[in-house]
Amino acid sequence: MGGKVTCTLGEVKQRADFIVYWGGNPAECHPRHFTKYTIMQKSRFLPRGRKDRTMVLVDIRETKSAKAADTFLQVKPGKDFELITILRAMIKDQRVTDAQIEDTGMTREVLDKLVDQMKNCKFGCMFFGMGLSMTRGKHMNSAALLTLAAELNAFTKFVAMPMRGHGNVTGADVIMRWQTGYPFGITFNRGYPRYNPGEFSTVDVLVRGDCDAAFIIGADPGATMPQPAIDHLKRIPTICLDPHITHTSKLARVHITTAPQGIAAPGTAYRMDELPLPLKPALKSPYPTDEEVVRRINEELQKKPFWMPEGAPLTMTAHG
């Protein structure tokens, strides 16, 4: 396991003749995804548009996206990891029994056809949503699909891409990655970045009560995180930067209203394929931008003595 096989949505639009949506409902959550990038577009390599493309939807219930799909596969809830693992075995011609397949809500005929389509397409693309990545198994469900996509490259070109949510979440990952080498779950307490999701990821830190202050930009953990995390945010000094009054700003000690990005503040947003897009503001806002607030906080921090003592930081090397 390792690495991610991916591409831009432009390549999907131009070349992808086989598209799988797994655990997502793009018709309702990403309504322009079909028409702009995936199934509806005509291109040089797929001149007949929708007729040249095949779409498969895998989900636990029949959503509105199922109408757009050529094949809808209803997987039993909580069996995504098992189903992807079966597919990994089947593309390598390993023997899986019918009973084992039926346990995931599928039949052998359906999976044989799916494996056949996956192996014989010219350019396959899998998009996965929160139905996969946020159900039991979490990161391993995503890892399973990414591994399946990587292994399918033994037969044909295949990529996998998460369907990201609202806001610039991809941007946060990308910037963290090129600045530190890690996308999230990072600590700087030793003066250099260390990565360990589960130990340093925001929700785990808050649930365990491992931090004594919180600084939140452009997110609303007060509405989305589990109750112990919200309780801890109430206990500690929480600073919230947001254009709106959110659940988080109601429990924060300080709320700073900022100009909305893309509307009144310029900047760069990252599309779900990690392509940076410049934002030009159309309106003026009386409020400062997020960047200005953070810069001014930084300037004040510079006036304080540096928190690391003189000399090299005490590093922990891998083997003592």
Partner 1 sequence: MSTVFRLKEQPNVPLEAEVLCPDTIADLSNAEIRQLTVFHGKRQVPLEDFFDVEGDGSVDMELHGDLKKVRWVARAMTKGSVTVHGDIGMHLGAYMKNGRIDVHGDASDWIGAEMKNGLIHVHGNAGGQVGAAYRGDMQGMKNGTIIIDGSAGLEVGMRMRRGTIILGGPARDFCGLEMKGGTIVLREGAEIRTGAWMRRGTIISLKPLQMMPTFADSNEFNPTFLNVYAKHLQQYNIDLPFAADAGSYQRFAGDLSVPGKGEILVWNPA
Q: Where do contacts with partner 1 occur on this chain (CB under 8 A)?
A: 1-2, 81-82, 85-86, 88-89, 92, 94-96, 100-101, 103-104, 136-137, 140, 188-190, 195-199, 210-212, 307-309, 314, 316, 318-320
Query: Taking Cα atoms as reference points, which of 116, 108, 127, 128 lies closest to residue 156?
Result: 116
User: Rounded to whole angstroms, how far apart are CA atoms 232 and 206?
Assistant: 6
Choice between 137 and 260, CB closer to partner 1: 137
Least distance (Å) from partner 1 to the CB of residue 103? 6
Choice between 177 and 247, CB closer to partner 1: 177
Residue 258 identity (one-letter amino acid) = T
Choice between 1 and 283, CB closer to partner 1: 1
Choice between 282 and 306, CB closer to partner 1: 306
Query: Taking Cα atoms as reference points, which of 247, 239, 244 lies closest to residue 261?
Result: 244
Query: How is residue 305 written in tokens?
Result: 């003595």
User: Rounded to whole angstroms, how far apart are CA atoms 78 and 311?
Assistant: 51
Query: How is residue 299 written in tokens?
Result: 């300037």
User: Rounded to whole angstroms, how far apart are CA atoms 38 and 47?
Assistant: 13
Least distance (Å) from partner 1 to the CB of residue 126? 16
Could you tell me which residues are beta bridge partners of residue 269?
A: 277
Least distance (Å) from partner 1 to the CB of residue 297? 17
Least distance (Å) from partner 1 to the CB of residue 185? 8
Least distance (Å) from partner 1 to the CB of residue 192? 12
Choice between 283 and 307, CB closer to partner 1: 307
